[in-house]
């Protein structure tokens, strides 16, 4: 089977994109295809698969499949790349439009020429802060802010919230010392998070700047996670490190994002999106 694709990345967080508006695909293939096409040794290599599809409630739709085949709810870097693809390929007419995800409908604005979108702003909406909304098991339904969290014979303080995806945020003194690999794989599968969780580590540098590293559920360590970085800014506000309404530059392994938790309670994320490869993946489904 020949699968036409485009590979894109948002500050290093790279996905294979399928245009299901122009091409026809069987929905049943996406989970296995995500695993096969993401394999760097036998496929194209990526953090997962994103399908751009028609929508009855927005201008375009977007489905995210992690590299382990599981389906995600949203992806901040994926939203920017989807916006770039949709605008440059004339799937939408305006530079401000809406994208449907499993986590809801978001509004995006692209900047640049029709043939070359350079930056995209995404309105991620309002974060969900109560325990049941994340979801996270616990004794009550209060906000999870600097809560004692026992894991791997260690005691941490976790701040958890839902912003496109479930996110668990841990603050560290130095980002280079964050136990990303040691704890990421454990916390993401912790039974206290029934839907699994993105695991982020944050070093606050100032009221306007922070470092962030992430283990994404279903994909592992990635160069960047837009919803995770945005959740980290919310967590920093909740813990008193920064003020609400402040523009924050978040440094990730793959580059920088500008994120603001505004006074209207919406979280705004601005960053780049890049196209790297276009081609055809020759997929042998029987060998999968």
Active-site residue flag, 225: yes
For residue 113, give both structure tokens.
Answer: 């020429």
Q: Which helix or strand (DSSP H or E) is residue 233 part of?
A: helix 226-238
What letter does residue 27 receive in the DSSP assignment?
G
* Cβ pair 48, 80 in contact under 8 A: no
CATH number, domain 2-125+273-287, options 3.10.310.10, 3.40.462.10, 3.30.1300.10, 3.90.1150.10: 3.10.310.10
Cβ atoms < 10 Å from Cβ of 48: 27
Q: What's the chain's Rg over C-alpha atoms? A: 18
Q: Which pLDDT score, from 0 to 100, does residue 286 have?
A: 55
Active-site residue flag, 75: yes
∠ CA 158-63-277, rounded to 5°: 100
The residues, any chain, with a CB within 8 Å of residue 132's CB and separated by 6 or more, are: 141
Break the chain into its structural domains and give their ranges.
Answer: 2-125+273-287, 131-265
Same-fold call for 2-125+273-287 versus 131-265? yes
Q: 112 in helix, strand or coil?
A: strand
For residue 241, give both structure tokens.
Answer: 């490190």
What homologous superfamily is domain 131-265 in, according to CATH?
Diaminopimelate Epimerase; Chain A, domain 1 (3.10.310.10)
Question: Given 79, 197, 225, 229, which residue is catalytic?
Answer: 225
Q: Hey, which bits of 178-262 come out as E strands?
A: 198-206, 209-216, 220-221, 248-252, 255-261
Question: Given 11, 44, 58, 75, which residue is catalytic?
Answer: 75
Task: Please state, in angstroms and rounded to a whole number, the distance separating the CA atoms of residues 207 and 239.
Answer: 12
Q: 111 in helix, strand or coil?
A: strand
288 residues of the chain, pLDDT tens digit each: 999 999 999 999 999 999 999 999 999 999 999 999 999 999 999 999 999 999 999 999 999 999 999 999 999 999 999 999 999 999 999 999 999 999 999 999 999 988 899 999 999 999 999 999 999 999 899 999 999 999 989 999 999 999 999 999 999 999 999 999 999 999 999 999 999 999 999 999 999 999 999 999 999 999 999 999 999 999 999 999 999 999 999 999 999 999 999 999 999 999 999 999 999 999 987 544
* Cβ pair 35, 288 in contact under 8 A: yes
pTM of the prediction?
0.92
């Amino acid at each position: 089977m020949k699968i036409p694709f485009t590979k894109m990345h948002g500050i290093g967080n790279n996905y294979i994109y399928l245009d299901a508006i122009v091409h026809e695909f069987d929905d049943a293939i996406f989970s296995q295809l995500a695993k096969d096409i993401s394999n760097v040794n036998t496929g194209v290599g990526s953090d997962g698969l994103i399908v751009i599809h028609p929508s009855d409630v927005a201008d375009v739709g977007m489905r995210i499949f992690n590299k382990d085949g599981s389906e995600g709810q949203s992806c901040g870097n994926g939203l920017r790349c989807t916006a770039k693809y949709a605008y440059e390929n004339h799937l939408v007419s305006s530079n401000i439009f809406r994208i449907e995800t499993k986590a809801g409908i978001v509004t995006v604005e692209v900047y640049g020429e029709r043939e070359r979108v350079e930056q995209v702003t995404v309105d991620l909406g309002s974060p969900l802060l109560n325990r049941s909304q994340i979801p996270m098991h616990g004794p009550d339904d209060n906000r999870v802010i600097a809560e004692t969290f026992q894991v791997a014979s260690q005691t941490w303080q976790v701040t958890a919230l839902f912003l496109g995806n479930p996110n668990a945020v841990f603050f560290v003194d130095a980002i280079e010392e964050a136990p990303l690999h040691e704890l990421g794989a454990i916390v993401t599968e912790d039974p206290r998070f029934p839907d699994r969780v993105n695991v982020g580590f944050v070093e606050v540098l100032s009221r306007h700047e922070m470092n962030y590293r992430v283990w994404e559920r279903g994909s592992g360590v990635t160069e960047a996670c837009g919803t995770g970085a945005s959740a980290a800014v919310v967590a920093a506000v909740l813990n008193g490190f920064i003020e609400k309404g402040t523009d924050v530059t978040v440094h990730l392994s793959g580059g920088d994002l500008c994120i603001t938790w505004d006074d209207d309670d919406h979280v705004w994320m601005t960053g780049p999106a890049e196209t790297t490869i276009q081609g055809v993946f020759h997929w042998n489904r029987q060998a999968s």
